[in-house]
Structure 1
Amino acid sequence: MKKVLLFSLMLAFLLPIQVNAQKKKSKKDKTTQTPSKSKKSKKPTYKTYVNAKTKTDEGLFKVHHNNGKYIYEIPKSHLGKELLLVTRIKDIPAGLGGGYVNAGSKINTQVVVWEQFQKKILLKVKSYNAVANDSLPIYKSVKANNLEPIIYAFDIKTQNPDSTAVLVDVTKFFSSDIKAISALPSFFRTRYKVRRLDASRSFINSIKSYPKNIEVIQDFTYDASAPPSNRNTNTITIRVNQSMIVLPEDKMMPRLYDKRVGYFSIGNVDYSSEALKADSKRYIRRWRLEPKDMAAYNRGELVEPKKPIVYYLDPGTPEKLRKYIKQGVDDWAKVFETAGFKNAIMAKYPPTKEEDPEFSMEDVRYSSIRYVASTTRNATGPSVSDPRTGEIIESDIIWYHNHLRSYRNRYLLETGAANPSARTLDTPAEEIGEMMRMVISHEVGHALGLPHNMAASYAYPVDSLRSGKFTQKMGIAATIMDYARYNYIAQPGDKNIRFIRQLGPYDHYSINWGYRLVPNANTPEQEVKTLNKWIEDKADNPIYRFGAQRFDPSAQTEGIGNDQVKASTYGMKNLKIVAKNLSKWTSNQTNNYEDLSELYGELLGVWSRYVGHVTGNIGGVYEVNKKPTQKGFVYEPVDKAKQKEAMAWLQQNAFKTQNWLLDKSILANIDESGYTNNMLRLQNRQLYTLLNPRRLERMIDAEVLDNKTYTALNMIRDLRIGIFSEANYTRNVDVFRRSLQKSYIDGMGRLLNSKNTMHADIKSIIRGELEGLNFQLSIAKNRKVNRITKYHYKDCLAKIRNILDPK
């Protein structure tokens, strides 16, 4: 009992102490928490991001820059509006893409929208691959089955003082490796073994805002095990340009594409169609030209457009070249008159800072011709268009400084025999200027929406190109958009010849078709009847034909004239004269061999092109796009006689050793070796073109339509008989022919043992011809020929045995 009483007294004594201790502890906790509340950061305000230290650039969005952070102030009125996001390579490392990628190359174009979702701003891609009229029920299904991807989600930092805009921090977005806007596609990453973006060597170079666009320049550095240049650095550094351009709210009425007229195009799948399937539609890409006076335009008068197409010259363009570049643009003004517009296109010199302090070639309101200090020999004519309608919004044509050297060299090689002024390394300034003018005109054509039209050079008869009267009026091809740079057909003694290309009748025709407004047409479909008539009125005239370079020998790059065998024969005659005088026109003048070496290498390329034009006839198929209302077939194989003529020409001018190309006075001064391999490489290009499975398949298919055609068996047999002609006689085989004959056997072997699917007849033909060749060489090796020829035949026989019986 005493123990219980004692325990009770102790408990009564301790309990108040514990309670008081808890109270003290609670008070202590409150006092420790209070300071933490006072230290909690205040909710950011507008002044947190925009203050005295902030640099602000006014434009489409306000862009604020402060302490390395970039803030977009996005007006709420712009949320949901469609913008075009264009990713371009601004500057590239040497060798990127193997020389086929240039500074200024477009990598990606996508429509984007900024949308608010709760406390975030989402940047979403809006696709126009699938469309439907938003008044139709199916529109909901199109939206549900084409969910728009979110590129990035930004936290809303705050609003502007009057709550009309939200602020988001875009620093991380533009300094991270975001695949959706990357200028280094996955195939480059694989090819160059790119591991990661190095953030310590990557940064935002600048962000500038203009009234209709925002331009972001990013400098990105990647760790890469196999970079295209500077291999020991294990690094690729690339400068990227992100252009965000506001798209017009009043959409231009698109014009439906017709493959019978050459235009770049955009496409989508339209689910509004009443047909039994979704309707694939394509629209041409073109500038919006609207007459100031529609009534006068409809009366057939020339009318100025409300907004002409204007190109500004790069302030860095050398003064002596400016007039030629300007002429190259202005030449198109006369072409647009065919479509009813006067003063529709022009070039202007760049304004001075006093004239326009805000002028910038990055501003989307100004299209430009940029002069790039680069050793690249090229020029390009890219443009940016609205993917909803095909309307071209802006264009920046690029001219690379060294490009004129290519034209000087080809001018000498292709026209020097008949053109005395081309026989020099110091081409007259006016002639160089004329070449530059025509290159600019060609690139402007691309920027107007016109692709290459390789069929245009086939429109003119070969011998007409030897006529001064004809060439001065018509040029050397029906369009500037063909790769028909020089008149290599004109012969020594021909008078008053135009040697340089120019705008032609097809250019007037295509611009009229694409840009002339169709009266009383309010939809693209309502224009079709008129557009179709414009085509069919010209359909029987080859001058107005459009042809893409594929399998059609009448649509080949760099060719001129409507008979490749005849044209290349003229070209070879001229090239032999040039080869004979090449030292005289180069090294004898400069007292060094650098130019001789360069021009000899390019001379071999010219020879190869002339040969290739003839090769294209064998297994070639003419393609003339037509509608069912037009007469004739779309596809017609080249007739047998023309193919046999081409094969005979190739045996004489390509596969026979071309001793005139092996001039000791040239070779012994430019290289110590490599002559046989160089010649074999050029011959193999033609040989393996002929032995291409697709070509052989076309020839086999042609037999179905015409049993009198030149067959695949005919071609392989004629090829064998010509290349091994020495084996039928007691003749030694020279080193060039020995190499070529072995290449023929190797090529046949690859076809026979290929695991790729081919027409069954191809392997039968190859096996039969190799067995025939085996018999032929078994006899030839026993003839009285020199030892190396005997060894060669024995080696060929061993190769054939290994192909026919690999075991």
Structure 2
Amino acid sequence: MKKLLLLTLFSYSLFAQNPIETFTKDMEKKDGFMPYYWDAKKGKIYLEINRFDTELLYYPTLAQGIGSNDIGLDRGRLGQEHVIKFQRTGNKVLMVEPNYGYRALSNDPLERRAVEESFAQSVHWGFEIAAENAGTVLVELTPFLLQDAVGAIQDISRTRQGTFKLDASRSALYLPNTKNFPQNTEFEVTITLTGDAPGAYLRAVAPTATTVSMRQHHSFVELPDNNYQPRGFDPRMGYIFTSFYDYASPVSEPITKRYIVRHRLKKKDPNAAISEPVKPIIYYIDPGAPEPIRSALVEGAKWWNQAFEAAGYKDAFQVKLLPADADPMDVRYNLVQWVHRSTRGWSYGGSIIDPRTGEILKGKVTLGSLRVRQDYLIAQGLVGDYKTDSTNTEDMMGMSLDRLKQLSAHEIGHTLGLPHNYVASVHDRASVMDYPHMQVELKNGKVDLSNAYDKKIGDYDKWSIIWGYQDFPKGTDEKKALNAIVDQMYGKGLYFLTDQDARPEGSAHPQTHLWDNGVNATAELKRISEIRKLTLANFDERKLRTGTPMSSLEEVFVPMYMFHRFQVEATAKAIAGVNYRFSVKGEKELTTTPVNGKEQRDALVALLQTLQADFLKVPEMVLKLTPPRAFGYDANPRETFKRRTGLVFDPLGPPEASAGLTLRMLLNPERLSRLVIQSSFHPSLLSLEETLDQLINATWKSNTSRAGYEGEIARLVEKMTLEKLLELSNNKEVTPQVRAVVMLKLKDLGYWLQNRMTADTKQKAHYLFASHQIETAKSNPSDLNTTTPMTPPDGQPIESGYDWLAPACDWELPAFSKGK
């Protein structure tokens, strides 16, 4: 015991004789929010801590990405924010994150403590004290900084790009972006990961794929004062939200609290109809974006000031270029960042928020540079006419820049707190928070792009900003005033529906879609089909610049051939569709109604037209002009049709991809289950029996010619239809009556096939195959082998298609709104 006491006293004596000034005498000090010291000889950072049990914000970011949208490790990617505090215990300092997902909004300290002690906290790191003065300690921060803070290892593993680990010997501090400011302290490090068997995505972007280096950034930020007033969430107005459990809530009230996510904005004069803000919201554009792209981004960003003007502010939203000496990672700068990748990919709008209140501290937009090239490619397919290399280029570039303006406004909208509003397109493009398809028009028999994209903020966007950012005069009943704003917006025929309502498979609202136009999806499908027909009829080598390999014609052809894809998805949702909106008790209109029978039947007819051979065939000119890939120009599987013909372009590949899309949408299991249920309540509505009869009549029992290329397409579509029905007959997730009806229709089709008499060998084989498949499914379903249909090339983001690998949306909910 004496030895232990002597050893403790001896250790304390050594420690007490090590003041910060002595320990750091050969180091460089950087003053600021959290003073730190740089030991150049050892390559270490030491942090000064003098505020214990004081909350601040910590978050990591990715300062330098790896260039692959598929892996998701983009330049500027935001990590998760954490409210943390430093707590001292003996010779150790813990970095502790309180649990703000569970709270008690109460003045009673015992009530608050009961909640705090009921749920886990998170200790992010433990630091040994290296030196101290009175009330101030010094800890080495280097090991904390030299970790994979953004989860790059997990992302590489998740995307099956190999098993990697951190190599500390090849990781170090990056001093140019390690800085101190009055309200934030920034550290940056070079992180190196090493691994074996890297995947294709990594091999495409890393110079040596077994060694992947990137720069990760760490931010420690002063939390805002308590003068921000959170605003409660209302599902009728589109706002991203943060949520938590409040155990101080009376039993008669909900335990879950939801605050919308928004910037702090106050009027200098809340009583004035129009007032300057106390502090404007300023967004900075990455000067690394080249012209004329940079100017387009600035113009689109500035649209938001129109919305803030509608909310009674003057010059509340401003846009500037990022100063040359500014650090993009600095929390003081809301940033629109231009990011390069090896393939086109999604753009993102994210935010760093105060998890306690939902206040946005930093808005961060990531725009992928290849997106504009994809838009230009689509314009090239629509109006390209390279008689010379400058013909029509102004129209193509004009449409592409108009799209960039809209994209800039859209992603900034997310960082203002707004989610998608996918029902806005039926109200004359009422929101930039929709996904817009280009509004292509036919004028004098030619494609016109002058109105392809809107050039202003939408009416819904103004109402959403009015609701979320309105600064009410003192004494106003805020809840009543906010409800009045919703009522006024509804009076204009505007409302809000979002991602869950728009996805083409599973969702049911007939007007809420991705990448659609028009009030009626079926009518728009017919209009789009006419544009597609004209475009394909005029598609030839004039779509390529002089000197381009002819095999590259396919990349331009793909979005033209699949030009109808979004409207197919939208039209299918009218079948077994449901009209509704987000409602709350107390509103006058609370009804949920099915789409009427005529609209459903019209949609079915329009969809069946996209399964016909004359719609699906590839123009003869395209087949003649598309050779196997030129040497040095390997096919990109994301931008070209899949094929079963080796190197040679497959004339049946595009029809298979397009027909497969229609069949997948039409025969969606949830949709068919709704058909059964809806028609049982309302016999006048489209039934499953009628749907399948129409489908079989339009394919197997149609009287169209079976000769040549169109005959092969017809047989292909019929086999695909049959195999989709066979899959449904064995799908245990659908309503049992769906399986029953499908089995009945398969049995009827089997009888019909037995009576087919033909001398055509191709048709004989076709009927024999179908009969065998039906019989096998009936007698021994485990032996049934179906062909996996080829899918279309990736479409999203366009902007032009449906990519199942893509994220569900381009914004992320704050941490505490997940799983609550």
What TM-score do you get using the length of structure 2 for normalisation? Answer: 0.82
**Which residue type is aligned with residue 605 of structure 2?**
A
Change (3 A) 1:497 1:41: closer
- Are positions 1:46 and 2:20 aligned together? yes
Query: Does structure 2 conserve the Cα–Cα contact (< 8 Å) formed by 1:156 and 1:168?
Result: yes
**Which residue type is aligned with residue 384 of structure 1?**
I
Matched with 1:770 is 746
After TM superposition, give the deviation of residue 381 of structure 1 in Å: 2.4
Structure 2 residue aligned with 1:65, among 16, 33, 38? 38
Query: Does structure 1 conserve the Cα–Cα contact (< 8 Å) formed by 2:263 and 2:361?
Result: yes
- Are positions 1:506 and 2:460 aligned together? yes
- In 2, Cα distance between equivalents of 1:774 and 1:727: 18
**Post-superposition CA distance 1:44-86 (Å, at most 9, x none):** 442454233x233332212222134433433423x22223333
After TM superposition, give the deviation of residue 164 of structure 1 in Å: 4.3
- Are positions 1:610 and 2:586 aligned together? no
**Which residue type is aligned with residue 805 of structure 1?**
S
Change (3 A) 1:745 1:235: farther
After TM superposition, give the deviation of residue 540 of structure 1 in Å: 4.4
Structure 1 residue aligned with 2:701, among 725, 748, 766? 725
Q: For residue 220 of structure 1, give the secondary structure of its aligned residue in structure 2.
A: strand
- Are positions 1:310 and 2:282 aligned together? yes
Structure 2 residue aligned with 1:362, among 324, 329, 337? 329
- In 1, Cα distance between equivalents of 2:627 and 2:471: 59
Query: Where in structure 2 are the equivalents of 1:52-131 lying within 5 Å?
Result: 52=26, 54-66=27-39, 67-77=41-51, 79-95=52-68, 98=70, 102-131=74-103
- In 1, Cα distance between equivalents of 2:164 and 2:498: 43
Structure 2 stretches of 5 or more lacking a match? 1-6, 629-647, 782-820
Matched with 2:818 is none
**Post-superposition CA distance 1:106-153 (Å, at most 9, x none):** 342322222222221111122221121242453232111113121211
Change (3 A) 1:720 1:709: same
Q: For residue 800 of structure 1, give the secondary structure of its aligned residue in structure 2.
A: helix
**Which residue type is aligned with residue 789 of structure 1?**
Q
Query: Does structure 1 conserve the Cα–Cα contact (< 8 Å) formed by 2:276 and 2:313?
Result: yes
Query: Where in structure 2 are the equivalents of 1:198-277 lying within 5 Å?
Result: 198-206=167-175, 207-218=178-189, 219-227=191-199, 228-230=201-203, 233-276=209-252
Change (3 A) 1:423 1:80: farther
Work out which of the two has the higher radius of gyration on C-alpha atoms and give 1 or 2: 1
- Are positions 1:683 and 2:659 aligned together? yes
Matched with 2:129 is 156
- In 2, Cα distance between equivalents of 1:362 and 1:107: 11
Change (3 A) 1:447 1:687: same
After TM superposition, give the deviation of residue 340 of structure 1 in Å: 0.9
Query: Does structure 2 conserve the Cα–Cα contact (< 8 Å) formed by 1:114 and 1:121?
Result: yes
Query: Where in structure 2 are the equivalents of 1:30-41 lying within 5 Å?
Result: none
Matched with 1:543 is 494
- In 2, Cα distance between equivalents of 1:65 and 1:457: 55
Q: For residue 512 of structure 1, give the secondary structure of its aligned residue in structure 2.
A: helix
Structure 1 residue aligned with 2:615, among 652, 658, 661? 658
Q: For residue 641 of structure 1, give the secondary structure of its aligned residue in structure 2.
A: helix
After TM superposition, give the deviation of residue 375 of structure 1 in Å: 4.5
Query: Where in structure 2 are the equivalents of 1:699-778 lying within 5 Å?
Result: 699-703=675-679, 705-726=681-702, 734-754=711-731, 756-778=732-754
Structure 2 residue aligned with 1:334, among 306, 309, 315? 306
Query: Does structure 2 conserve the Cα–Cα contact (< 8 Å) formed by 1:56 and 1:64?
Result: yes
Worse overlay, 102-111 or 495-504: 495-504
Query: Does structure 2 conserve the Cα–Cα contact (< 8 Å) formed by 1:727 and 1:776?
Result: no
Structure 2 residue aligned with 1:784, among 720, 734, 758? 758
Matched with 1:408 is 376
Query: Does structure 2 conserve the Cα–Cα contact (< 8 Å) formed by 1:271 and 1:278?
Result: no
Structure 1 residue aligned with 2:165, among 176, 193, 196? 196
- In 2, Cα distance between equivalents of 1:41 and 1:390: 42
Change (3 A) 1:730 1:46: closer
**Post-superposition CA distance 1:148-170 (Å, at most 9, x none):** 1212111111125xx34211112
After TM superposition, give the deviation of residue 509 of structure 1 in Å: 1.0
- Are positions 1:172 and 2:143 aligned together? yes
Query: Does structure 2 conserve the Cα–Cα contact (< 8 Å) formed by 1:128 and 1:268?
Result: yes
- CA RMSD in angstroms comes to 3.3
Change (3 A) 1:791 1:320: closer
Query: Where in structure 2 are the equivalents of 1:383-394 lying within 5 Å?
Result: 383-394=351-362
Query: Does structure 2 conserve the Cα–Cα contact (< 8 Å) formed by 1:71 and 1:167?
Result: no
- In 2, Cα distance between equivalents of 1:449 and 1:496: 31
Query: Does structure 2 conserve the Cα–Cα contact (< 8 Å) formed by 1:730 and 1:785?
Result: no
Query: Does structure 2 conserve the Cα–Cα contact (< 8 Å) formed by 1:379 and 1:398?
Result: yes
After TM superposition, give the deviation of residue 191 of structure 1 in Å: 3.3
- In 1, Cα distance between equivalents of 2:618 and 2:126: 64
After TM superposition, give the deviation of residue 422 of structure 1 in Å: 12
Matched with 1:802 is 776
After TM superposition, give the deviation of residue 237 of structure 1 in Å: 4.4
- In 2, Cα distance between equivalents of 1:542 and 1:459: 8
Q: Give 1 or 2: higher helix fraction.
A: 1
- In 2, Cα distance between equivalents of 1:677 and 1:652: 18
Matched with 1:451 is 419
**Post-superposition CA distance 1:200-256 (Å, at most 9, x none):** 334443443333223333413042445342299445545433333222132511111
After TM superposition, give the deviation of residue 614 of structure 1 in Å: 1.6
**Which residue type is aligned with residue 438 of structure 1?**
Q
**Post-superposition CA distance 1:420-470 (Å, at most 9, x none):** x9983554665544333222122221221111111000124xxxxxxxxxx
Worse overlay, 483-492 or 682-691: 483-492
Matched with 1:472 is none
- In 1, Cα distance between equivalents of 2:219 and 2:475: 34
Matched with 1:484 is 436
Change (3 A) 1:728 1:332: closer
Query: Where in structure 2 are the equivalents of 1:626-641 lying within 5 Å?
Result: 626-633=583-590, 635-641=592-598
Among the aligned pairs, what percent are the same residue? Answer: 23
Query: Does structure 1 conserve the Cα–Cα contact (< 8 Å) formed by 2:156 and 2:162?
Result: no
Change (3 A) 1:360 1:623: same
Change (3 A) 1:785 1:438: same
What TM-score do you get using the length of structure 1 for normalisation? Answer: 0.83
- In 1, Cα distance between equivalents of 2:194 and 2:475: 53
After TM superposition, give the deviation of residue 683 of structure 1 in Å: 1.4
**Which residue type is aligned with residue 328 of structure 1?**
G
Change (3 A) 1:695 1:429: closer
Change (3 A) 1:176 1:512: closer
Matched with 1:142 is 115
Query: Does structure 2 conserve the Cα–Cα contact (< 8 Å) formed by 1:415 and 1:422?
Result: no
After TM superposition, give the deviation of residue 544 of structure 1 in Å: 4.2
RCO greater where, 1 or 2, for CA within 8 Å and sep 6 or more? Answer: 2
Query: Does structure 1 conserve the Cα–Cα contact (< 8 Å) formed by 2:372 and 2:401?
Result: no
Q: For residue 61 of structure 1, give the secondary structure of its aligned residue in structure 2.
A: coil
**Which residue type is aligned with residue 690 of structure 1?**
L
